[in-house]
Amino acid sequence: MRVLAYTSPARGHLYPMVPILAELAARGHHTHVCALAGELEHLAPLGLDASAIDPAIEGIPIVDWRERSPQRAAASVLRTFAKRSEYEAPDLKRAIERHDPDMLVIDVNAWGAATVAEASGLPWTIYSPYLLPLRSRDSPPYGPGLRPLGGPLGALRDAVVARAVDRLFQRAAMSLLNPLRAYHGLPSLDSFDSLLRRPALLLSLTAEGFEYPHSDWPASVRLVGPMNWNPTNAAQPAPQWLAEMPDPLVLVTCSTELQRDKRLAQVAFEALPAAGMPVIATTAAHDPDSFHVPPGSRAVRFLAHDTILRRASCVVCHGGLGITQKALSAGVPVVVVPFGRDQMETARRVQFAGAGVRLSPRRLIPERLAGAVRSAIACRPGAQRVAAAFACAGGPQAAADAIEALGSRSGGDFLGDKIRP
C-alpha cells in the first residue's frame, strides 16, 4: 500500500504522525509525508520519504497572539487555516499526481487538503493531534473549556454556547471553505463538525481516561492514544548538570509555536526555586537567554523531555496536547496554564481526570503557581491512571491497524506495496 500523508506547518502536528507512518513503513507499506521543509532531514532515517509542503503555506503563520480577546484570537486561527487551504488544495493534488497513493492521511487543520482528499475518490482519513472538536450530547461545546454540567441548566448553557461557536466557525471558516468545496464538486457544509464526519476513519490521538466518554460519536472515530516522538528521542547522554540538580525537579515547557506563554517560564523561575523546587525550562520559541534564571535552575531552548520526565515531580505547560500527554504517559502530573487555541479544552481534561491542576493565565503569579504545583504533585495517582489508559489504547500499532482496515474496506486487497482492485 502506498500511503501519502499531508501535514500542516506545525511540528506539533508532524511529530505525532511520525510513529504511525514509521509503523506502516515497518509493515512494508510505502509512505510519503508532505511536511515542514526544515523537518525533512529527520524523517529519512526512519524509512519515510518526505517532501516539503508549498512554501506559501509556511508563509501564513498563526498570529492569534496579537489578539487580546479569546474570541478574536480563535477567529484569527480559523482565518489562517482557511487562507492556507487555498494553497493546500493544489499542493496535495500535485502530490497525488507525483506519488500515485492508495491511501491519504490528512491533518485535521489542513482543510484544503481534506477537500482534495474527499474529491479524489481515494480512501482517506483525518488525524487529529489535539482533542476532537466533534459535537456530542455527552460534553460541552468545544472551545471554551467549559466544565461538564448536567441537567436542564447544563443543556441550556451548552445550547447557547454551541450557537455562538457555530457563528464563529461560519464567519471565519465555512464561508471560505465552501467555495473551495464547490470548485471540487463537493457539497457545501454547514459546520466544521460536518467536515470531521466526512472520512470513513477519524483518528484521535488520545484515549478515554483522559478524553470524555462519548456515546454518540460516529463509528468512524478511533481513539488510538498519544504518539510521543521528536527528533531528539535518539539515545543521547543526559547533560551532567541534570544529574547535579536536586529533587523535586519541575519541568516547565513553552510551545514550539510562538504565543503568549513566555511569562509562564519566567513566573516559574520566580516562584518555584524559592519554594525548594528547581526548574528546568525548555523555552522553544523563546530565547533562553532572555530569562532571569536563578542559581540551580536551567533554561534551554530544547532538551529531550523523556530524560527529564524520569525525575520530574510535575510538568508546568501551556496545555499543548503533545507535552501534556507526554507528561501523563510518564505518570507525571501537570499544571496547565492555557493561553488559547485548544489549550482550554486540554486543561479541563487534566482537571476532569484528576491528573493535575488548571490555572488561569490571569492568576499566573508566583504564589498561585507554587500552590498549583504543590496541588498537582498530589495528583500523581490520577496521572498514573491516565498513563495506564494511554498504554491500553494501542498507539502506532492501533493506528496502523485502522488505516490498513480502511484500505481493505475500500474494495481492495494487499498485494505488494499497493491496494489492488
C-alpha cell recorded at residue 185:
464538486
Ramachandran quadrant class, 151 (left: phi over 0; alpha: psi -120 to 50; beta: rest): left
Preceding omega of 248 cis (within 30 degrees of 0): yes
User: Hey, do 2-225+393-420 and 235-391 end up sharing a CATH topology, with the first three levels equal?
Assistant: yes
Q: What is the dihedral of CA 374, 380, 381, 387, to 10 degrees?
A: 150
Task: Report DSSP letters for 2-68, one per residue.
Answer: EEEEE--S-HHHHGGGHHHHHHHHHTT-EEEEEE-GGGGGGTGGGT-EEEEPPHHHHTS---GGG-S
- What does the pLDDT look like over 384-412, one tens digit per residue? 999 999 999 999 999 999 999 998 876 55
CATH class, range 2-225+393-420: alpha beta
DSSP 173: I
The second-level CATH assignment, the architecture, of 235-391 is 3-Layer(aba) Sandwich (3.40)
| pLDDT tens, residue by residue, 282-321 | 998 889 999 999 999 999 988 888 889 999 999 999 999 9
Confidence class of residue 417 from pLDDT cuts 50, 70 and 90? very low
pLDDT at position 410 is: 67
Region 224-236: mean pLDDT is 76
Mean pLDDT, the chain, whole residue set: 90
User: Pairing between strand 413-415 and 418-420?
Assistant: antiparallel
- List own/partner pairs for 165-168 with CB under 8 A and 24 or more apart: 165/141, 166/191, 168/71, 168/74, 168/75, 168/78
What's the rounded Cα separation, in Å, for the pair 174 and 183?
14
Cβ–Cβ under 8 Å, residues 110 and 33: no
Helix 175-183, helix 70-99: angle, nearest 10: 20
For the stretch 67-118, pLDDT in tens is 777 778 877 888 898 899 999 999 999 999 999 999 999 999 999 999 999 9
Show me where the domains of the chain are located. 2-225+393-420, 235-391
